[in-house]
Amino acid sequence: MTALLEVEDLRVAYGKIEAVKGISFSVDAGQVVTLIGTNGAGKTTTLRTLSGLLKPVGGRVRFDGKVLTRVPPHKIVALGLAHSPEGRHIFPRLTIEENLKLGAYLRKDTAGITKDINRAYDLFPILGERRKQAAGTLSGGEQQMLAMGRALMSQPKLLMLDEPSMGLSPIMMQKIMATIVELKAQGTTILLVEQNAQAALSLADQAHVMEIGTIKLSGTGQDLLHDEGVRKTYLGED
Ligand code: ATP
């Protein structure tokens, strides 16, 4: 089986500082793959490069059979790669429904859009209950739900989630993680960046540990969850 996403020796730099120093990994259709690692490891930089927001200085990204280098961000979305960014970046003055509609800005199928808005409300009932309210009135966790719902509105073949649990209460975090499991069960392919290694490894098929711009260790989520080094460094065990 060819992978849906193949990243080969990817290098990304901010001026002279190389933040991603030649990483390779792949994501098969239907999988949840996670990148974990401490602050500054290069996880966000990797996702922003896959979305076309940053240009790599080397390597190759192939998505659904196409090479993405030099493809602009809106075309990457149209190819089926959606990004729910770190910090959520919802539009606080627009309503929840308007935010969701923005996620479908490349689509013309009005009936399909309405169907997918309702799907987002099924997934996150609170968004449906508050559909006419300004998105800025939502709690942090609810805004995360909105960011995920908005990313799904482009009907992605691959959904990239950057730190969906950041700043959330344990209960809200569990809800977000349960939603990822539900999306996977529905067949959504997910690339998940998380600092909460325990949560991410528990649900990932494949996992990669990033350290200072490189992938230091790879394995199944369960393998890494039980790896002694990972437990000490990322799961806070002595
Ligand atoms: P975090 O969880 O904090 O976002 P991360 O693993 O996602 O961590 P990145 O945000 O990708 O890491 O950062 C990788 C490296 O690139 C860090 O050393 C960071 O300081 C640097 N960096 C990130 N953005 C910029 C920028 N706009 N200009 C210069 N350096 C940057």
Alpha carbon nearest to ligand 1 atom 27, residue: 14
Protein residue with least CA distance to atom 1, ligand 1: 39
pLDDT in tens, 193-226: 998 899 999 999 999 999 999 999 999 999 999 9
- Name the residue among 63, 22, 27 with its Cα closest to residue 46: 22
Q: How far is the CA of 26 from the centre of ligand 1 (A)?
A: 22
pLDDT tens per residue across span 165-178:
988 888 989 999 99
Structural domain boundaries of the chain? Answer: 5-87+157-234
What pLDDT is attached to residue 26? 98
CATH architecture of 5-87+157-234: 3-Layer(aba) Sandwich (3.40)
Task: Please name which of 111, 143, 107 lies closest in space to residue 127, comparing C-alpha atoms.
Answer: 143
Of 11, 16, 36, 39, the residue with max ligand 1 atoms within 8 A of its CB, to mutate for a pocket test, comes to 39
User: 234 C-alpha vs ligand 1 centroid, how far in Å?
Assistant: 18
Q: Is the pLDDT of residue 137 over 70?
A: yes
Cβ atoms of 124 and 145 within 8 Å: the answer is: yes
Distance CA 47, CA 219 (A): 20
* Interface confidence (ipTM) of the complex: 0.91
pTM: 0.93
* Percent of the chain scoring above 70 in pLDDT: 99
Distance CA 165, CA 167 (A): 6
